[in-house]
Structures are given as C-alpha cells and as structure tokens.
Amino acid sequence: MTSDAPALSPGLEGVAIAESSVSRVDGEAGRLIYRGYSIGDLALDATFEEVVALLYDGELPNAPRLAEISAQLEHDRALTDAQIEHARGAAALTHPMFALQAATATLGPMVNDFESNVDEATPRGIAAIAKVGHLVGVIAQAVDGRPYDGPRPGESHASMMLRMITGEEPSELYLRTMNALLILQADHSAGNASTFTARVVTSTKSEPESVISAAIGALSGPAHGGANEASLRLFQEIGDPSRAEEQIGRMLDDRYKIPGFGHRVYHVKDPRSLVIQQLATKVIEEGSEVADLYEIALTVEKVATDRLGSRGLFPNVDLFSGCIFAAIGIPIDFFTPIFAAARTLGWAVHMREQWDSGNRIFRPTQVYTGQEPRAFVAIDQR
Ligand SMILES: CC(C)(COP(=O)(O)OP(=O)(O)OC[C@H]1O[C@@H](n2cnc3c(N)ncnc32)[C@H](O)[C@@H]1OP(=O)(O)O)[C@@H](O)C(=O)NCCC(=O)NCCS
C-alpha cells in the first residue's frame, strides 16, 4: 500500500453517500421517520397508498390526493399477458425472489435512454410500485400451482397482494397487518444496501425498471432482506420453545450470526420490531404453530440480548417479521418478495431524488494491494 492511499472504510461505514429528505434512521434513539412522521404512527394509522403519496409529495395526502394516487396505482398495476407468462415461467425455475428480479426487468422499455425521459421518473416509479406488487402475486400463484387470478377493481395494494399470495379473501385484521408490514418496510434511508444499489444503478442513467430489478438482487441476500426468511427457518429448526435457550446459546458460542439480530445503525432495538410486536399480540397468538415460533423468537431475543446487548447488538426488524408474515398465511419464500414490493416505494423515491440532486455517477476508489507494473512473460518462458 502506498503512503498516499485513500482511507479505507469497509462496508462504507460512516461514509455519507447522498443528501436525502425521505426518511431518517436514528440508531441511538431507536427512531425511524418518513418525511418527519414516526413509523409507528404511519404503520398503525395509515394505508400503504397514503405512504406512497407521503414519500413522493413530502406531505400526507388530503382525500382528493389520496383518491388520485390510489387510482394511479390501480391503473398502473396492469401487466401484459407476456409479462405474466414470463413471471410464471421464471417462478418454475428459481426462488421467488430471483423470479421477481427477472420479471421486474421485463417491465423495462424496448429503448435504453432514460435521461431524455427523466421527467417520467415519478410516473415510472409509481408504475413500478404497482406492478412489482402485482408480480409478487403472479409468482405466488404460479408456485402454488394456481391459475392466474389478477387484481380486482377497487382492491387496495395490500389487499391485492395478500389475496393473490395466499389465495384467500383477507380478513380485516390480516389486511391491516399487511398494510402495516408494507409501510414498515417501505424505506430505510439512502444507506441500506439495496437503496444504495438503486442509487448506484440510477447514477449510470439506467432505466427505472432496471434500477428496481438490481435493488431486488441486493435485497435478496440473508445479510439484508433475506434475514426474515432465515430467522423463521431457524425457529422452525429449533422447533420447540423449550430448546431455544440452549440452542441459541450454543450457536452464539460457535460465533454463528443469528438472523434478525444486529444492525449497522441501530444500537438499540429496531423500532420496526416494536411495531411488529404490537401487531403480533393481535395476530400471532391466534395460531398455535406460529405462536410457538413467536415464543422461540422471544427466547432468541432474550438469550441473544443478554449475550450481545452490551455490545450494542439488538433485534432488528427481521427477528419478528417472519413470524407475523407466517401468521397471516404468507409462505416463507414470499417474505422477502413482499419486502421487495414494499421497498420498491423507497427505491423509486430515492431514484427520483438521485436524479434531482444532479445524479453524478458513483465511482469510488480502492486501495490497491496488487503487483507493481512488471514485464510480460511469454508462455514458453513461464
Ligand atoms: C446486520 C449485519 C449485516 C450488520 O453487519 P455489520 O454492521 O457489518 O456488523 P458485523 O457483521 O461486522 O458485526 C460486528 C460484530 O457483532 C457480531 N454480530 C453482528 N451481528 C450478529 C448476529 N446477528 N449474531 C451474533 N453476532 C453478531 C459479529 O460477529 C461481530 O463480532 P466481532 O467484532 O467479534 O467479529 C449483521 O449484524 C448481521 O449479519 N446480522 C444478521 C443478518 C440480519 O439480521 N440482517 C438484517 C439486517 S436488517
């Protein structure tokens, strides 16, 4: 390494990558706000459509604005027959998250020249939110061997998704819960891995659907969105709440990273977990199998907090979100695709903010650790 090497920040910790007014994560206070409003108030009192308007407009919508944005989402969710067939085909080949990534890419246009259409950033973003939610439903029906049964007139975004994914008419309580889950996962500042990915791809002037598709890939990993799936699988493996304490203790002795635990920014319990647990008391305790898994989650929280809390490691959103997804009838492989459909809102708003802020291409540097220049050696002399 040469003496003029730039400072290295693994994982870009502490590096500001953008100015943003969309949402703020306060990791010390354990607070998350969207446009100034607390995530708890929004998740428990607003609809996903209201939050779409809030994140785009910067203000909560009045009734006419809410009607307008709801109608726009409903209109824009339409998919072509070819897009539906492609998504169903992809669902037969790969994990729903990768099928969603591929299907989202097919929403893009035949041209690749977004800079000359950049005034479309808002409508194209809103269309992506509407269509990605619909695609999750299309993929769920295909995985379940059901025929395509698309959105119905007047259905909210949460209702369309929940009905298409589960194949059941959602109850009021489940619908309210789905709405809250979509809202809680809609944004998490510019610095999380998938939103950062969305901004990096935007900075190359890529088409919006390609931005969203790339961000879905980033969200799929178990260190990011995939942790909700991983945590529920772990609880299923533990199986019995009476075994949780011993097993988690052993895993921590082996330095295993507990999914749903720890966070780069939060050094207290993730505020989204607190809201999810409020919902959980209403929903999870209804179903015995899920109630057991939830009990395991609570034991994991206790054991891991006793061991790791002093190091600033606490439950994140994914420790409990899997349990509540399962409680409302969502298959485990669809936890992360639903997270992606929710976060498409954040990605789309950050894409527009990135363009509005000048959209300089991301091009960080490196600390080179390789060979100094040397002479090429012909193959017969090696
Ligand atoms: C979220 C996460 C990726 C943050 O990563 P990070 O900021 O780079 O933190 P690190 O992975 O460097 O962890 C720092 C220390 O805490 C420990 N740690 C972090 N998360 C842990 C976990 N879930 N279980 C046990 N130990 C954990 C690490 O082993 C490391 O210990 P060390 O310093 O002794 O080596 C990480 O906490 C993690 O992998 N958590 C599990 C996956 C998850 O829930 N992701 C969803 C996030 S919303």
- Confidence class of residue 5 from pLDDT cuts 50, 70 and 90? confident
Each residue of 291-301: pLDDT tens digit? 889 999 999 99
Ligand 1 center–CA 141 separation, angstroms = 35
Each residue of 38-66: pLDDT tens digit? 999 999 999 999 999 999 999 999 999 99
214: burial class by Cβ within 10 Å (0-12, 13-18, 19+)?
buried
- Confidence class of residue 284 from pLDDT cuts 50, 70 and 90? confident
Ligand 1 center–CA 122 separation, angstroms = 35
- Contacts of 65-72 with C-beta under 8 Å, sequence gap 24+, read 69/126, 70/156, 72/123, 72/126, 72/130
Each residue of 104-154: pLDDT tens digit? 999 999 999 999 999 999 999 999 999 999 999 999 999 999 999 999 999
C-beta atoms surrounding 110 within 10 Å? 4
- Confidence class of residue 83 from pLDDT cuts 50, 70 and 90? very high
Ligand 1 center–CA 220 separation, angstroms = 17
Q: What predicted TM-score, i.e. pTM, was given to this entire model? A: 0.95
pLDDT the model gives residue 287 = 65
Full set of structural domains in the chain with CATH: 20-222+331-356 (1.10.580.10), 227-327 (1.10.230.10)
Best of 250, 257, 335 for a ligand 1 pocket test (most atoms within 8 Å of beta carbon):
257
Best of 313, 316, 339 for a ligand 1 pocket test (most atoms within 8 Å of beta carbon):
313
- Confidence class of residue 2 from pLDDT cuts 50, 70 and 90? low
Atom of ligand 1 nearest to the CA of 13: 7
List, in sequence order, every residue forming a beta bridge with 24; answer none if it has no partner. 33
Question: Which residues are known catalytic residues?
Answer: 263, 318
- When the pLDDT of each residue in the chain is averaged and rounded to a whole number, the result is 95
